[in-house]
């Protein structure tokens, strides 16, 4: 599948309810239509993880691919927030905190996301209007 060069790709856990809700949130707050989406479980997701040498055993929730860079965990979430509408870009100020500290909270939530929010049997199927935003 051709990856649009002018778009940032968000890879997400397609069976995670929290992740799916987060993607819906990003779509609603992305008036410039900057992002495209693909499940980590898709061929494209696996291909981009391989390309950026991201270990799926260590990162299994969200990845932002922006041109030739890939951001993981809290860095991905904060780089996404900086492009959203409203006050969310202010969250990017947390990028000054070293990732190992930010990721303590991120990893805790990621580790418990299925227990707290549940899990789907298969990846989310977007509505026809949103289908063009999903890759893979």
Q: Is the pTM value of this prediction over 0.85? A: yes
- 10-residue stretch averages of pLDDT, the chain, 136 residues long: 83 83 93 93 91 86 92 96 96 96 91 82 64 76
- pLDDT at position 122 is 58
User: What is the reported pLDDT for 60?
Assistant: 78
Cα dihedral sign, 125-121-65-91: positive
Cα–Cα dist 73/11, whole Å: 11
Among residues 56, 53, 86, 82, which one has the least CA distance to residue 69?
53
Cα atoms in the 13 Å half-sphere on the side-chain side of 34: 17
* Cβ–Cβ < 8 Å for 42, 48: no
Specify the pLDDT at position 111: 86
User: What are the boundaries of each domain within the chain?
Assistant: 8-133
Q: Residues 56, 18, 91, 25: is their CA dihedral positive or negative? A: positive
């Amino acid at each position: 599948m051709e990856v649009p060069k002018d778009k940032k790709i968000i890879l997400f856990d397609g069976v995670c309810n929290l992740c799916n809700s987060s993607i819906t949130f990003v779509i609603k707050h992305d008036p410039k239509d900057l992002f495209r989406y693909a499940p980590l479980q898709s061929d494209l997701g696996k291909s981009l993880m391989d390309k950026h040498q991201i270990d799926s055993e260590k990162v299994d929730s969200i990845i932002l691919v922006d041109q030739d860079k890939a951001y993981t965990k809290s860095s991905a979430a904060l780089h996404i927030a900086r492009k959203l509408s409203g006050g969310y870009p202010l969250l990017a100020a947390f990028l000054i905190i070293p990732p190992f500290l930010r990721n303590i909270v991120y990893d805790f939530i990621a580790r418990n996301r299925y227990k707290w929010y549940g899990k789907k049997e298969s990846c989310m199927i977007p509505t026809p209007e949103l289908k063009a935003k999903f890759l893979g």
